[in-house]
Amino acid sequence: MKAVQITALGGREVLNVRDVAMPTLRTGQVLIRVCFSGVNFIDVYYREGKYKTDLPFVPGAEGSGYIAGVGEGVVGFSEGDPVAWYGPLGSCAEYAAVDASMVIKISAGIPLSVAAALMMQGITAHYLAHSTFPLQEGHTALVHAAAGGVGHLLTQMAKRAGARVLATVSSEEKASIAKDAGASEVILYHDVDFDAAARNLTDGVGVDVVYDGVGKTTFEGSLRSLRPLGMLALYGASSGPVPPFDLSRLSAMGSLFITRPMSFDYIRPHSKYVERTDAIFAMYQNRVLNVHVDTVFPLEEAAAAYELLESRRSKGKILLSLA
């Protein structure tokens, strides 16, 4: 089968499409004919060695497609079922063997492209808005990269929860996307200091929570944007990792909280995974969650897909198509 296989750590030059062996189906797994694979920064972290896995490996931590085989001990799935999944690596391939516990059946009316787009980023947006800092009416949230994959979904969920959303974006085009998603005010961070703008928009008080998937370039400003006892939810590092930080500074800045959440901790036990995915797909089916797919690349153009992701020019989700 065709797959993106990484045989050495490095940049996008190591993303090569090769003929590789079909995955071995183990007990408790299903074999999936992949139609769409999500493009995410976690793949970059593995490719660059920031996250560890054995070489060689096939990247891609989410996808959608059709059941092509059912392993021993698996019930509830049949060949041809449309499904989506999250984790482990391996979705940048024509076929993937996935633990059945991580596979979700897709209801009629949900396109496979949308299903793939909603798995990792939808789950992330959901736990951030409903668990990491549970938003409610009266809260003010600062959402970075609000036109991006997570940010666009998170802005909609925050607005739906009753929060006021201040959104940061890089362009007027992205500002329009953030406004349509429910942002009350949009800050173009290339034009102004976003932390000063956030404080001005809150009469000098600061926001209750900052959702920051950018990392290095926004970290200090995110802290300055918070009210006393506010929380910084640092869920990613698209601009690079945050440098070492003296935690005693948090007390001087108003007894602030910082958390570095990881998705897998928010989908355990399995019932929580089902609960979140059910909620996300219900929002989409009820037309209260809009999913924007920016670009769909063929598998052979994986390097171009990750270049778009890493450039931070994308608006919404990037997918690889294997259909």
| pLDDT tens digits, one per residue of 223-262 | 999 999 999 999 998 898 999 999 999 999 999 999 999 9
Gap between the Cα atoms of 32 and 249, Å rounded: 49
Is pLDDT at 79 greater than 90 in this prediction? yes
Sheet with 226-234, side-by-side order of all strands: 185-188, 164-169, 140-143, 207-212, 226-234, 257-259
Residue 87 confidence (pLDDT): 84
**In the predicted model, is pLDDT for residue 123 greater than 90?**
yes
Please give the CATH architecture assigned to the domain spanning 2-121+269-321: Alpha-Beta Complex (3.90)
Alpha carbons 281 and 118: distance in angstroms, whole number: 8
Distances in Å between the alpha carbon of 13 and those of 4, 42, 94, 150, 187?
11, 17, 21, 26, 35
DSSP tag of 85: E
Of 242, 252, 205, 244, nearest in space to 225 by CA:
205
Residue 323 predicted with pLDDT over 90: no
CATH number of 137-260: 3.40.50.720
Spatial neighbors of 301 by CB under 8 A, at least 6 apart, are none
Whether the Cβ atoms of residue 118 and residue 284 lie closer than 8 Å to each other:
yes
- CA–CA dist 165, 5 (Å, integer): 40
For the cut 90, the answer to whether the pLDDT of residue 43 exceeds it is yes
Residue 59: is its pLDDT beyond 90? yes
Residue 178 pLDDT greater than 90, yes or no: yes
Residue 302 has pLDDT above 90, yes or no: yes
pLDDT at 314: 84
Kindly list the domain boundaries of the chain, sorted by start residue: 2-121+269-321, 137-260
pLDDT at 301: 97
Q: How far is CA 189 from CA 186, 196, 197, 291, in A?
A: 9, 10, 9, 24
DSSP 131: I
Burial class (CB in 10 A: 0-12, 13-18, 19+), 208: buried
CA count, 13 A, side-chain hemisphere, 142: 36
Which of 127-131, 253-257, 308-312 has the least mean pLDDT? 308-312
| 315 band by pLDDT with thresholds 50, 70 and 90 | confident
Region 186-191 average pLDDT = 94
Answer whether 261's CB lies under 8 Å from 130's CB: no
The span from the CA of 256 to the CA of 189, in Å, is 23
The mean pLDDT value for 105-133 works out to 96
* The model's pTM: 0.94
Backbone angles phi, psi at 23, to 5 degrees: -65, 150
* pLDDT band, very low/low/confident/very high, at 88 (cuts 50, 70, 90): confident
Phi, psi of 190 (to 5 degrees): -75, -20
For residues 38-55, give the mean pLDDT.
94
pLDDT over 90 for what percent of the chain?
Answer: 94
Residue 312's pLDDT is 82
Question: Model confidence at 33, in pLDDT bands (50, 70, 90)?
Answer: very high
Nearest to 218 by CA among 191, 238, 199: 238
Q: Are the folds of 2-121+269-321 and 137-260 the same?
A: no
Confidence of residue 313 (pLDDT cuts 50, 70, 90): confident
Q: Has residue 192 got a pLDDT over 90?
A: yes
Bridge partners of 108, per DSSP, are none
For residue 99, how many other CB atoms are within 10 A of its CB?
A: 16
Within 10 angstroms of residue 217's Cβ, the number of other Cβ atoms is: 16
pLDDT band at 316 (very low <50, low <70, confident <90, very high): confident
What residue has token string 């506010």? 230
Band of pLDDT at residue 78, cut at 50, 70 and 90: very high
What was the pLDDT predicted at 74?
97
pLDDT band at 290 (very low <50, low <70, confident <90, very high): very high
Reported as type and span, the H/E element at residue 116 is helix 112-118
